[in-house]
Amino acid sequence: MDRRHFLAAGASLLAAPALAQAPACTQTVPNAELVKPGTLTLSVNPTLPPMQFVDGQGVLRGMRVDLGNEIARRLCLTAEHVRIEFAAMIPGMAARRWDMINTGMFYTEERQKLMWLVRYEQQAISVSVARGNPRNITKLEDLAGLRVGVEQGGFEFRRTTDMSNDLAGKGLRPLTIRAFDNFAVSFQALRAGQLDAAISIDSTGKEYDDRGEFTRAISGLYGTPINFGFRSRVLAQAVADALTAMKADGSFQALLDKFGVTAYNGPFEVVGPS
């Protein structure tokens, strides 16, 4: 091969990789709608396995973490999860500390008045007890007068208060409700014998039962949609569109099936203050 042919062949080899590169991802959400340019900042409290938790190596994992990462990828943004207690999430979003609440937040009309929401998942509440269910708890009335732990400030706390009021209305002893910073601390108290029961979501109650750590005595209470929360309506609509695309290509249902989670039975639409 003479020098001209060698140079031509070399040029061809150098050009080939460039022709094989994938097209660049185009960001559609304006940076003005984001806390950090090019970044989707999500708040999460990793205390609810298998939905959101930290593994033995300190890595953030779970269905909602995977879903948040995939949404960011489809929006051509870099996902950045901020670990924070739930009680600080709504004030923190209003203060522009993160763009999106991704922590399994239950839908309520009060929350719809405060922020933009996109419903995507269906959950309910479970009651977990010591392994083997020594008190033989099978219904809410069996909890009368017992010590029950729950995360403070959320939907679960409000429904636990409703349970207590319902028991009192039936002439039974109300619950002794102990509020904790997060669900993990509540389950630690149950493990230590400081509680008779701990309240969480169905997915977490089942996970602990499957692990053999606690028994899920009651489940399926107060079934309600789960939603993402947003300060920006523009970002909320972009996420709703990404979820719609995921549903169409089957990846959304595949992810939920992997974790045994029920999808929200409705369109991915933005609801909020207006």
Q: What is the pLDDT of residues 118-165, one digit of tens each?
A: 999 999 999 999 999 999 999 999 999 999 999 998 899 999 999 999
pLDDT per position as a tens digit, 235-271? 999 999 999 999 999 999 999 999 999 999 999 999 9
Q: Note the pLDDT of residue 45.
A: 95
Q: How confident is the model at residue 62 (pLDDT cuts 50, 70, 90)?
A: very high
* Contacts with 101 (C-beta within 8 Å, 6 or more apart), sequence order: 42, 43, 89, 90, 93, 115, 228, 229, 230
Q: Note the pLDDT of residue 10.
A: 43
Whether the pLDDT of residue 194 is over 90: the answer is yes
Whether the pLDDT of residue 55 is over 60: the answer is yes
Q: How many residues does the chain have?
A: 274
What whole-number distance in Å separates Cα of residue 139 and Cα of residue 149?
A: 17
Whole-number mean pLDDT of the chain?
A: 92
Q: Which amino acid does the sequence have at 96?
A: R
Whether the pLDDT of residue 106 is over 80: the answer is yes
Q: Note the pLDDT of residue 153.
A: 85
Domains and CATH numbers, the chain: 31-123+225-265 (3.40.190.10), 125-223 (3.40.190.10)
To which residue do tokens 């309240």 refer?
199
Q: How confident is the model at residue 6 (pLDDT cuts 50, 70, 90)?
A: very low
Whether the pLDDT of residue 214 is over 80: the answer is yes
Whether the pLDDT of residue 12 is over 80: the answer is no
Whether the pLDDT of residue 9 is over 60: the answer is no
Q: How confident is the model at residue 23 (pLDDT cuts 50, 70, 90)?
A: low
Identify any residues that bridge with 189 across adjacent strands, giving them in sequence order.
Answer: none
Contact between residue 233 and residue 152 where contact means Cβ atoms under 8 Å apart: no
To which residue do tokens 């399994």 refer?
104
Percentage of residues in the chain having pLDDT higher than 70:
92
Q: Note the pLDDT of residue 99.
A: 98
Two structure tokens written together for 8: 């031509």
Whether the pLDDT of residue 4 is over 50: the answer is no
